[in-house]
A = this chain, B = another copy of it.
Amino acid sequence: MAKASVDIRSLMTGAAGAGPSSWAAAPGRQVAISFGGGLPDPATFPIEELIADVATVLRRDGDAALQYGGLVGYDGLRESIAERSRRADGRAVDGGNVVLTSGSAHALSLTCFAFVSAGDTVLIEAPTFAGSLRAIRSYGGRLVTVSVDERGMSVDDLEEKLAALKAEGRRPKLLYTIPNFHNPAGVTMSLERRRRLVRLAQEWQFLVVEDDAYGDLRYDGEPLPSLFALDDSGLVLKLGSFSKILAAGLRMGWAIGDPEVVGALTSVRHDMGVSPMVARTIAEFSKVRLEPHIQRLIAHYRGKRDRMVAALGEHCAPWVRFTTPEGGFFLWLELAPGVDPDALAQATAGEDVGYVPGPAFFADGDGRRNLRLAFSFVPSDDIERGIAGLGRALSRSARPT
């Protein structure tokens, strides 16, 4: 396109300067075996079932499914999500506590729009999901990080940060956490820490955004109560998604919480709501197919996790440390002192193996000695081959001992 001389960049807001980060790119372009993106396994997509359900919906309810459907979304799916929450969280919720969004990432974006003004203090975990970091920054949130260990977010560290903020006359507006099968750290927050976190939120009066995109995918152990289950103040908003338990390409997530909080999210959206066709199709799928589908996913992904853990033990043991996750998609590796992360990045490229380097998950460039592996996407039979390649790369990147 021809152009008169115009400096378009000078018209942009600060938010537009940042640009999309690399995790947003379409998957699998660059390396033969990518442990990079947190992508569901296409082998699990229930294609014929979805074709049947979308046909049922369009023939039965086409007039409504293809029309505008309002900002909060299809009541049938909101009610179905509330029903799952009543069972899992034991809260007396109904569809009025739920708003449908274009994935849980969109729900977080709306939450920031509704609750984070430029300069507001936002508490996040270090590490945390790169996409969430980007969203919170877009709204001008002033980030304060809380450390994460093998029992999830450190509530001791949180208390210290709150005290330090108080000393500066600052008060946090919002805390963002991934308590189950943390992305990227793989860890799960302990019950004791969950209780303390909810108490702190009530005491300090900040909103807690509980991102639970992976919560249904638990492979070992007993489910813990969600923060939402432990709260009675309305200050916990829980985000969920069909991306990992059905299909990411449907772009359907939700937020469930106090009606006033959910209403605030709704009031700042301008997309006229999610697709009623997609929402109704998922509601149809949820009637009888969803729960057995999730059980199959659990068996499938448990097997992939176990293969990756075993392969790491065989090929990478001297050079990495990690906590085996009880669910979710991710292994979070810490490199042994002798391994040079830059050399590793070069060496893995040569092996045609992909991962996400740790700094993507930190607000401050930390995480140089970490990397995230997703075991979810790569076909089971390629996992060992990829991890063997990673092992060779690690051996070449390590100082001789």
Q: In the bound complex, how far is the Cα of B2 from the Cα of A50, in angstroms? A: 38
Q: Which residues of B contact A250 (CB under 8 A)?
A: 66, 275, 277
Choose, from A107-115, A303-311, A333-341, A380-388, the stretch at the interface: A107-115
Q: Which residues of B contact A343 (CB under 8 A)?
A: none
Residues of A at under 8 Å CB distance from B? 1-4, 6-9, 11-20, 24-27, 37, 39-40, 42, 45, 47, 50-51, 54-55, 58-59, 62-71, 91-93, 97, 101-103, 105-106, 108-109, 113-118, 131, 134-135, 138, 173-174, 202, 205-207, 232-235, 243, 247-251, 258, 260-261, 263-264, 266-278
- Which of B11, B20, B37, B269 has a CB less than 8 Å from the CB of A68? B37
Q: Which residues of B contact A9 (CB under 8 A)?
A: 260
The verdict on A15 contacting B268 (CB below 8 Å), with A202-B4, A250-B277 known, is yes
Q: Which residues of B contact A50 (CB under 8 A)?
A: 58, 66
Q: Which residues of B contact A269 (CB under 8 A)?
A: 109
B115 touches A16 (CB 8 A): yes
The verdict on A106 contacting B271 (CB below 8 Å), with A92-B1, A249-B277 known, is yes
Count of this chain's copies in the oligomeric assembly: 2
Q: In the bound complex, how far is the Cα of B7 from the Cα of A37, in angstroms? A: 39
- Which of B12, B19, B247, B273 has a CB less than 8 Å from the CB of A115? B12
A4 touches B232 (CB 8 A): yes
A70 touches B26 (CB 8 A): yes
Q: In the bound complex, how far is the Cα of B252 from the Cα of A56, in angstroms? A: 22
Q: In the bound complex, how far is the Cα of B93 from the Cα of A271, in angstroms? A: 26
The verdict on A11 contacting B115 (CB below 8 Å), with A58-B47, A202-B6, A271-B105 known, is yes
Give the Cβ gap from A303 to chain B, nearest Cβ, in Å. 20
Could you list 23 examples of A-B contacts with CB < 8 Å?
A1-B92, A1-B232, A1-B234, A3-B258, A4-B232, A6-B233, A8-B260, A12-B115, A12-B264, A13-B114, A24-B70, A24-B71, A37-B68, A39-B67, A47-B59, A67-B248, A102-B271, A102-B272, A105-B272, A131-B272, A135-B270, A138-B268, A251-B275
Those 6 A-B pairs whose CB atoms lie nearest each other, nearest first: A66-B247, A109-B270, A4-B233, A42-B63, A16-B114, A66-B249
